[in-house]
Amino acid sequence: MVPPQFGQGQIRSIFLQGMELLIFQYRLHDDLRVIDEAGGTEWEFGFNISGNRCGKQTGESFIGWGSYEDGGIYETYANDAILKIDINLHTPEQLYQLIGEELENGFSNITELIEASKKSFLGEINLITPAMRLALDQILHCPFIGNTRQIYLTSKCLELIALKLDQLHQENSDTKKNLCSLKPDDIDRIYLARDIITKNVDNPPSLIQLSRQVGLNDFKLKSGFREIFGTTVFGYLHRHRMEKARQLLNDRRLNVKEVAQAVGYANQSRFAAAFRKQFGINPKAYLLRQQSG
């Protein structure tokens, strides 16, 4: 449990076969900065459902795989509702034990990346897909208890790992190059571009305006954004809008019209159509389901 002087909520740890499932669900009173100077190793698949934590934003999935010498600075901001699921494998070999045949048959380029991580750290960030979202929701609302619960959660974790590896496979299927060929300064500017559009979802800058703000030409911004995040600038913005809308509906403080306006939609019908396409349910029906739950 989060100590009441710091905030409210909890971090749950569930040990499954060969892995640990962590569910972060909390809100802090004040900003928190953790400085890690030691470095270490991790074999992690993560899904940042809501809130911004440790450099990961709402709606992002990621892989952290391998050893890192330098730690980092990890920040969580005050009053940011964190909902995050991590799957930590006990050892790197555990991945092969769990889905080794699939790695050998269909993910040869992923195998190469994983093998390379023995010498360097593999870090990848992308979006949470609708299929991932469904599995995450099923974990959060697991209807079983006892041994059946263990089996169910294990199957959902394996499903998420497979979906994440498939996403990584799709991004790397046409090339043998490293995950990112951009210069560190260009990467920083692209992350700045992401921060700008996600902080201005109701009135985002144009692509030209965004390019000028971050100091990149529009071609490099577009190609670099796709390389890092696997989608276009405004494809990412659209997904972020939908995730923010979903979070606002979950909070149950605004009606559908107010949520639409909060994420930049002047037309409520267009918002409803976009939300339904993203999540397979109308925002009004989604809100009613949250209120009844």
pLDDT at 86: 96
pLDDT at 173: 58
**CATH code that applies to domain 236-293:** 1.10.10.60
The answer to whether the pTM exceeds 0.75 is no
pLDDT in tens, 222-249: 888 887 777 889 888 888 888 889 888 9
Measured distance CA(250)–CA(63) in Å, rounded = 26
CATH entry 2.60.120 includes domain 7-172 = yes
Do the beta carbons of residue 128 and residue 163 sit within 8 Å?
no
pLDDT at 108: 52
Q: Give, in degrees to the nearest 5, the angle at Cα 63 between 59 and 68.
A: 130
pLDDT in tens, 149-189: 999 999 999 999 989 988 877 766 554 444 445 677 888 88
Tokens 């499954």 found at: 16
pLDDT at 149: 92
Q: Which residues of the chain are under the pLDDT cut of 70?
A: 37-40, 68-73, 98-121, 171-182, 293
Task: For residue 72, give the nearest of 121, 116, 24, 113 by alpha carbon.
Answer: 121
pLDDT at 102: 56
Two tokens, residue 153: 């959660």
Measured distance CA(176)–CA(102) in Å, rounded = 19
Q: Which residues contact 209 (CB under 8 A, 6 or more apart)?
A: none
